[in-house]
Structure 1
Amino acid sequence: MKACHEITISYSLKIYKCCVCKNSLWPFFKFARCQACELRLHCNCQSQLKHLCRPIQGGISSSSEHSVRANPINFLETNLQIDIATASNDFSINNYRVLKLIARGSFATVYLVKDKVSGDLFAMKIYSEEKAQNIDLGFGISLTAVANNEIEILSSLDHPNIIQLLEVIKSGNQDWLCLVFELANDHILTSQKAIEPPMSEKQARNIFIQLVKGVEYMHKNSIIHCDIKPENLLFKDNVLKICDFGISQRIISGSSVKLRAQGTRAFFPPEMCNSNKEEIEGAPLDIWAMGVTLYYVVFGVLPFQGDAVLELYDSICNSKLTFPEKCSAGLRNLLEGMLWKDYTKRMTLKMIKAHEWLNI
């Protein structure tokens, strides 16, 4: 039977929401079928399924409309039998041939894969749902929720400086989920130790300008990244790609995000280290992390350090920001503005773009 979305074992999805409960819809995990167009969609309310196929423009936000993504994400299924926990290479998932293991973590595995038709290379991140459902990352957040959040956020973003999620593959008979990304495999740096030598200000400026453009686009679309750091900045053909949106948050109303423990402590702003509030301002959080990242890129060390968590938090909240003698006056002024401990006085993206050091 011909469906209005031309689905067989695969289909494309822009962004949909339920007309009843207003929740976003996901075509995996628990399946529901729209009575109007046969498109399989899931809605938490599980009612009036015939109304669930109405598209909206871009993401899920009550405050503003977002642009429709030019290339919708493909959502696919497969009946492949594979033990993801032990597999390394020499297997295929749908049209992708796995070439080599890139990284294996506790919760997900990343592979370099090749499209068997086009020959193009991609990065594939595979989550084990069985493990994910049993892992609590704190504040009631499971790894499954992190994977779903990354899909939902990236579904509504389309910018040259943000990594593109191209496809989601759900196993039909096994508990694993594949996310296929454009390949951007050049890290700018690693923030685990001091760098010798650090980047020049000219090199750092080129990276930072692209970072500003990507973050500005996210914020305009009501997305706060919440984990900006060098490891989450990749390069593809000299173009910066911001990645890892698992703990990012969409601002539904106001300008605050929920205060959570996820992220990288060395990049936490002071308001995350000493706040008893359930929510903090979203944009200043990303601005602070951008400042720490820029400082690290140029000087090779983190601006605030501590051997233990409480010592690190004390340094972030109370230590004075210092600079090497080689630091230019313009960069020093920019970093002081971005790393202002009082978030109400911290630089905004508009102020950063207008700063003389960037020359945007």
Structure 2
Amino acid sequence: MNRFEFHRASDVAGATRLGAGGARFLAGGTNLVDLMKEDVERPRTVVDITRLPLRGIDDLPDGGLRLGALASNAATACDERVATRYPMLASAILAGASPQLRNAATNGGNINQRTRCYYFYDVATPCNKREPGTGCSAIGGVTRQHAILGASEHCIATHPSDMAVALAALGATVQVTGPAGERSIAFADYHRLPGDEPWRDNTLETGELVTAIDLPAEGFAPHSTYLKLRDRLSYAFALVSVAAALRLDDAGRIAEARVALGGIAHRPWRDTRAEASLQGTLPGDDAFAAFATALLAGARGQGGNDFKIELARRAVRRALRQAADGTPQSQVDKRVAAPARSAA
């Protein structure tokens, strides 16, 4: 058993002071506790932050919504404002884990969860993410769950979150507090690609604590969907997932498109240049197929995950069609909603 010090923070400033010394923050514990049990992480100090006042879900002056970092995934998905104004986000949250885990897991913990790469969890194998400089056992190994975009010679792991994929498509902002004060991080800049430092999952500095996630006013409620493809219908991580959101003009053309992929890279994957190519086009299979090809132009498999490239192309086209038609896929029974009837 690995010994560690345990502290319970009573305020954010106290938590960040302890964090500056390398302590790990404990909220729902649905990821950190598992990592400690598996001997993957051995923190010397653990700081319980569950008593901090970060559980609120509050309206913002600009029409957006602020999600407290300690609000549970379940409370967030079931909040009427989230379900109504940001249904794609609610759907993504409900696609993840199980009801029991969503009751415990927090918003801040969700976006900070670590990869579920088999080799990362297997302490008997080399892993650059777990022990820098030892190598990547996944390369040349079992790669069904691994990255097809943004990987490096040092790591081909993927980010496991469903919630983060929807937040990337929405263009959320992460609010953090640390020893140097408060700052805001655009969601597109929050998670990192592995590069030469695969052990760094995000752009947080030592001691920084996520306090909230801000959603913009535009939630794309009428034309959005979250599509998750996995080996079983529940309690499984995505092989490929797609958060797709469209804003249509009065002529039915695409005025704005947002598409983020999960299960295929070290972070939720977006390409704003490819998204811009959809602007001004009529929703249709040809436009969606061309977009999917552009979005996945740099995809590269590792053998065991080559199938993901075509799977992702098809998933993008399917998700965009659901979003355009306003027929999102239910995470409860997996059915696609019926098209809304126009008034006679």
Question: What TM-score comes out, normalization by structure 2 length?
Answer: 0.32
Greater RCO, CA 8 A, separation 6+: 2
Structure showing greater radius of gyration is: 1
Question: What TM-score comes out, normalization by structure 1 length?
Answer: 0.31
